[in-house]
Structure 1
């Protein structure tokens, strides 16, 4: 793990974005942990979040003239990432996000920010991948509408978990679109760094919960 990844794991705990217990997911599975990107809701957290995404963009090696975030969660992410790339890596990328409803007046269109052109290289940023269908649709829309290249997709957390069909949503997205997915961290990074480690004086992931996550992954994980 890189230092920024270790910092990100601890950041998730401190912000409450990563919690442990019993959580019923949309899939109906009962998970011993839960990630909620909605907890990144104040200035200092968003600033730090942009830094972690910028680090992942740089590590991925994906060329990026535009950082694109799908509405709604991706709106904050693309702006924060573009700012952090400039502040920390001297990369002055544009940002762009889509409108849920096409604007018919003013500047119009379905994009806000720098609309990609044929010679642009677009990196998409989002929180997680569930089944990947919406991201496949958006990648295709960007390519077809602008002729720009989508060079990468950065997400916060890869759960390393089977989808409803028993497959891997990330590898399926990659094979369908030709776009590589890079996660800031995976659940395995959490299991490596966090067990019995005090964060601000409190252990977030004890041995019992660590075992429950391993058992959960042995049943639902893609690495079993």
Structure 2
């Protein structure tokens, strides 16, 4: 049986999508690690990435009528996920993604692809404090007949937001949905704990988690 979490971490490290060092995040925080899904930029890479997302969707057994990718990094991911669901699981789901700016000519609007429909699964790459997801909800919530079934990301950093509250729990409570990740920070720590040459990076992760991580009891 495939250990999907370990395989995804190995894949991300090999492609240097997951890196260790000193990074400034969009949230303003300084982090000892960074996840850049934009480095999955070949056909083989993005095809493999879609398989991980498709597996997460199927394993979750969450009802879905349309996949919604958040611009910009969620666009290739949602496309590849839809392809994998069809190819590997015989599940044919429509997908759409948003524009950053409203198009005022041609077909107009902010959506490309399928329209919103009943139960939506939102696809993005990383959740830190949840800012991108909150921003995307503004036009989704204008549709009263739409339900957000789940939000699926590659990496949940398991951090608190600016109010010292779990970012994921806040998102789940605000939008009455489930946040699912392929891996989270605890999975990464578990993986690094088995690698003697990664002790320095592991220590940095522990220090960062003490400062920004959710309450320790939530990890287990």
Provide the TM-score with structure 1 as the length reference: 0.87
What is the Cα deviation at residue 215 of structure 1? 2.3
1:110 equivalent in alignment to 2:92: no
CA shift in 2, pair 1:122/1:41, >3 Å: same
Tell me the equivalent position of 1:62. Answer: 62
Cα distance change, pair 136–2 in 1 and its aligned pair in 2 (3 A):
farther
Q: Which runs of 5+ in 2 are unaligned?
A: none
Query: 2:211 maps to which residue?
Result: 219
Q: Does 1:209 align with 2:207?
A: no
Deviation at 1:145, TM superposition (A): 3.2
- CA 1:114/1:170 → structure 2, altered by over 3 Å: closer, same or farther? same
Match of 1:200 in 2: none
Corresponding residue SS for 1:145 = coil
Partner of 2:142: 144
1:196·1:207 contact (CA, 8 Å) conserved in 2? no
Point out the more displaced range, 135-144 or 170-179: 135-144
**Residue deviations 1:120-140 (CA, integer Å, cap 9, x gap):** 321110011233243234235
Say whether 1:123 aligns with 2:115: no
Could you give the per-residue CA deviations for residues 171-209 of structure 1, whole angstroms, max 9, x where no partner exists? 111111112110110011111123454xxxxx8x61222
Counterparts in 2 of 1:10-29, with a 5 A limit? 10-29=10-29
Cα deviation digits, residues 138-178 of structure 1 (max 9, x gap): 23522423722221100111111222332211111111111
Partner secondary structure for residue 71 of structure 1: coil
Give distance in 2, aligned partners of 1:146 and 1:40. 35
Q: How far did 1:49 drift?
A: 0.8
Moved more, 92-101 or 19-28: 19-28
* Structure 1: gaps of 5 or more residues: 198-202
TM-fit CA distance, 1:82 = 0.5
Q: CA RMSD in A?
A: 2.1
TM-score, L = length of structure 2 = 0.89
In 2, Cα distance between the equivalents of 1:208 and 1:220?
19
